[in-house]
Structure 1
Amino acid sequence: MPQEMLVRYRSGKETFEVATHPGAVTKYREGTLKSLDEVLVSDVVFTDYHKRLRASELELKSVFGENYNKEEVLDKILRKGDFQLSAAERRQKLEQKRNEIIEYVHKNFVDPKTHLPIPRMRIEQALETVRPRIDMDQSADRQVALMMSKLSACMPMKKHQVEGTLRVPHGVLGASNAVIRSYCTVAREHYTSEGAVLEIMISPGDYDAFIKALNNASKGNFHLDIAGAAASAAASTEEKPGKKTKPKGTKGRHG
């Protein structure tokens, strides 16, 4: 294990580096470590640590101001600079992202034969077989899309989508349209004197976020029927399943 890890802060043409103890920067940013002494190998700011080139007063003042404070400079470098994760941190983040991928598949895909959610253990076994390269910084849904063909080859899977009929008045359609198109697949749509009627499909995992975003965009003025049960802008994540209320600003009958 290296004795120190570098944090590199860039501003314009200037680069500043400080040496830290392995794993300490993440804990400092999370608030687990609060003292600079617990994080830094030394409080010296370098322009090139490997060449042991120390930052001059002129270089520091050009970026941090004439009356810069040394501790504030070190804090900024630690919080805003780039650094490499330790081996343990990297393993932890990869495991976390792997679990996110498993959970995403479990929530959004079904076995095409049984139409039931795919068990997490089965998804985990499929990942062991496929052995995809997991990216710590890329979203789970994007990575599943990229590995879809390989995953489905060893584990039959079908995207599970909820179908519904969405009614949005003309007055809020412009503001709501971007939200609808970003979360849903619109199978059919037609317009009446009151507004738009859209036949939509949406992944169960996106449903709560969609309702919240649409509620904000339409100011609560929409009506959604899902699987024969009426839902509305009031169907927020805080409500109990099946509860039906008439949200403020929403007109019409709610079943």
Structure 2
Amino acid sequence: MKSFKTFDKEKVSFNLAKLKKGGEMFEVIIDPDKILEFKKGKLKAKESVMYEKVFFDAKKGLEASSEIMNKVFNTENVVEVIDVILNDGEIQFTQEYREEKQKEKFNRILEIISRNAIDAKTGLPHPRNRIESAMEEARVKIDVFKDAEEQVDDIVHKLKPIIPIKLAMKEIQIKIPAQYTGTAYGVVSKYGKILMDNWLNDGSWLCSVEIPAGIQNDFFDALNRLTQGTVESKVLR
């Protein structure tokens, strides 16, 4: 995924991508739900903005002139300039959007931990509200741009000084056909820890992965989408 900077020095009324270049500040009004997909390479720049316009000051509606864009970016093509701003600039979200996404991601992580975590001493499930209280006490930081599944292990580790907790885990062996291996590693590693992997003679990828037991169905769904249902899998333990 392309590098992604954010900053919160000031409250804004738009979700923006901002780039200072050639002594000027350039701004683009972004679609906040699409910008991460752009950073993952799944969308084009023009699909990730609200308007195909470049501003000196979006709040005031002050657009950058063709002359200045040509001087600074060596092009008057607005889409090309937008692409540079999205790739090289900083992303600034409204406080409302950031808080909404923080809450959404917090609840998703809480759900995953509640479904998978047990008391490390008794082996019994922890009540959901106890886990939530521990997360608040630990002041866990939620990254709104990372998938919830990627954050679970780190957050559970931070909860251990507060409550005796561990995740119920499963080990699964999967075989990905050769034509899908290019993106398979990123998908698999998002859900769990790769314990073993091996490239087979036909170009397919064989691996075993340890994942939280409660996200097994989500894991299989993601693999089936990736491989159009051709993945082979076996639960080892």
What TM-score do you get using the length of structure 2 for normalisation?
0.53
SS of the residue corresponding to residue 160 of structure 2 reads: helix
Deviations 1:168-202 (A, max 9, x none): 69x97xx69x7598445548x9xxxxxxx988643
Match of 1:43 among 54, 61, 64: 61
- Counterpart amino acid of 2:223? A
1:131 aligns with 2:131: no
Quickly say closer, same or farther: Cα 1:201–1:207, change in 2 above 3 A: farther
Match of 1:96 among 99, 104, 112: 104
Match of 1:108 among 110, 116, 128: 116
Match of 2:67 among 42, 58, 61: 58
Quickly say closer, same or farther: Cα 1:60–1:207, change in 2 above 3 A: same
Match of 2:223 among 213, 235, 247: 213
Quickly say closer, same or farther: Cα 1:3–1:181, change in 2 above 3 A: closer
Quickly say closer, same or farther: Cα 1:206–1:225, change in 2 above 3 A: closer
Quickly say closer, same or farther: Cα 1:147–1:64, change in 2 above 3 A: same
SS of the residue corresponding to residue 125 of structure 1 reads: helix
Residue 170 of structure 2 aligns with which residue?
A: 162
* Greater relative contact order (Cα < 8 A, sep 6+): 2
Quickly say closer, same or farther: Cα 1:14–1:156, change in 2 above 3 A: same
Q: Tell me the distance in 2 between the aligned counterparts of 1:215 and 1:150.
A: 32
What TM-score do you get using the length of structure 1 for normalisation?
0.50
Quickly say closer, same or farther: Cα 1:73–1:93, change in 2 above 3 A: same
Quick check: 2:114–2:126 contact (8 Å CA) kept in 1?
yes
Q: Tell me the distance in 1 between the aligned counterparts of 2:148 and 2:224.
A: 23
Q: Which runs of 5+ in 1 are unaligned?
A: 46-54, 190-196, 228-255
Q: Tell me the distance in 1 between the aligned counterparts of 2:113 and 2:227.
A: 29
Residue 153 of structure 1 aligns with which residue?
A: 161
Q: CA RMSD in A?
A: 5.4
Deviations 1:47-79 (A, max 9, x none): xxxxxxxx554222343845x57xx799x49x9
Residue 87 of structure 1 aligns with which residue?
A: 95
Residue 120 of structure 1 aligns with which residue?
A: 128
Percent identity between the aligned chains? 21
Residue 226 of structure 1, CA deviation? 6.1
Quick check: 1:167–1:198 contact (8 Å CA) kept in 2?
yes
Residue 203 of structure 1 aligns with which residue?
A: 212
